[in-house]
Chain A
Amino acid sequence: MAVSFRLRVDMIACDGRGLCADLLPERIRLDDWGYPMIDPTSVSGPVLEHARRAVAACPVLALKLDAIKGS
């Protein structure tokens, strides 16, 4: 069983300065107020590395990468 990942944001913690969208434009766009809108499709391959970097860069640990079971 292969493991893939999905991005999720803790909207209560997020400060909406949009750093993650700069680092991961492949998966994150900003809404009209600057809060991240996350593409719900799973993350793998080279994008996964960028995603990990964005997660690590979030100043309030609001961006999370969850392992999802796949086949």
Chain B
Amino acid sequence: MIAHELPSSPARSTGPALPRLLSAFDEQSGGATRLITHRRTYPPPPAPRRHPAESYIAAIEKAGLRGRGGAGFPTGRKLRSVSEGQGRRVVVVNGSEGEPASGKDQLLLTRAPHLILDGALLAATAIGGREVFVGVERGKVDALRAIHHAIAERVHAREPMVPVRVVELPARYLSGEESALVHLINGGEAKPTLTPPRPYQRGVGGGPTLIDNVETLCHLAQIVQWGPVWFRDQGTVDEPGTMLLTLSGAVGRRGVCEIPIGMSLATILASSRPKAGGISAVLLGGYYGTWLSAADARVATMDNATLRRMGSGLGCGAIIALPSGACGLSETARVLTWLAGQTAGQCGPCVHGLAAIAGGMRDLAAGTASLRTLESLHRWGDQVEGRGACSFPDGAVRLLRSALKVFDNDVAHHVSHGPCVAAAHPPVLPIPAVEVASWR
């Protein structure tokens, strides 16, 4: 393995305090940061090489960066596994963001495309990668335009780089699942495939493939620029750095913000101007996430170590505040119905199980469910969990279980007395219009 040195004299000796990622935005133009502006802070990534760069991998390991796509897997470990694989190694930037309650990746794509591309090209340097793919949903025209334009700027400036290809993804929840992404790039449908082999073993073109979330790669670029010690100035020891959140629901200030990992959820909610009536529960991690009771939300901090103890997790950083007066069961029933429709339709327990769960939840929300329906819901959750080829159905089961737990009083009331007044509350959680999108 050939050792490369990290850039020896960074443009600045120390990086931004807070915000970090959002500091890469061009506040004057309000649009995508142009290459010449970006290059005042970030030097161009080194020319492509075929061999992994140990110093880059070591820096990311030392920084302790974890993936921001939802699973929180250590990025350094993934870089190392891919770099040790045999074959033509490539990088895939996951900009799918199929999560309806999340907007941070799209924001990064439209405002800081060069930070993403730097991160992807530096990751390619780290693993000795030969090509970069950037996956973006077909309908997200602003993001697509920004990333295409950013690539063109680099070509025009004659920056040395491996080929960078933009891949348009079907607008489906499953498009962001890593094996589905690989399958699509390989010329197939955007449906998950049987694993193992996982993409880091055998992915695009059969070669070891690094798949990272858009935000993860932005952090990676900043770590290369300012170093692991700077990175660890924010966040917790186990989960260092900052993260982007997407706030919505019963708050006045919606949208994307950047916090140090480990920040108090109560502080975040208080500073986002909660609506007068108050908040009855919080959905963390979007539709692949879990409900948190108002009591837990008061003491929670935004790190997985704490949230896992509450049966929850950061996920992709989407936070939806449920207003008091809305019905958590009706909201969950709508989301589960939409999720059931997002199945790739390949595995029996996912297809039939999610449909059954969604149906049971709708009955519960409508007040027509019996104790037997409730029993079935629990049994179906147990029968579906871990039984798909991918973990998509597991997310739906987690959401179901958290709803039954957090809204247990409402469950009892709906079963014995029918729906509460809250069931008539207008819908809070956004449900995308279901189009008949193709799988390619």
Seen from chain A, the residues whose Cβ lies within 8 Å of a Cβ on chain B are 10-14, 16, 31-35, 37
Contact = CB atoms under 8 A, between A and B. Distances in A.
A62 to B, nearest CB: 10
A35 B350 CA distance: 11
Contacts of B380: 32
A31 to B, nearest CB: 4
A33 B389 contact: no
A11 B389 CA distance: 6
Interface of B: 192-194, 346-350, 352-353, 356, 379-380, 383, 387-389
The list of the 9 closest CB pairs from A to B, nearest first, reads A33-B352, A11-B347, A35-B348, A31-B383, A16-B348, A12-B346, A12-B389, A11-B389, A35-B349
A10 B195 CA distance: 9
A57 to B, nearest CB: 18
Nearest to A31: B383
A36 B157 CA distance: 57
Contacts, number: 44
Given A33-B349, A34-B348, A35-B349, A12 B194 contact: yes
A32 B380 CA distance: 8
A34 B346 CA distance: 15
Given A10-B389, A12-B194, A12-B389, A33 B353 contact: yes
Contacts of B353: 31-33
B37 to A, nearest CB: 47
B175 to A, nearest CB: 17
27 contacts: A10-B194, A11-B346, A11-B347, A11-B348, A11-B349, A11-B387, A11-B389, A12-B192, A12-B193, A14-B347, A14-B348, A16-B348, A31-B349, A31-B353, A31-B383, A32-B352, A32-B353, A32-B379, A32-B383, A33-B348, A33-B349, A33-B353, A34-B348, A35-B348, A35-B349, A35-B352, A35-B387
A42 B352 CA distance: 28
A14 B347 CA distance: 8
B165 to A, nearest CB: 27
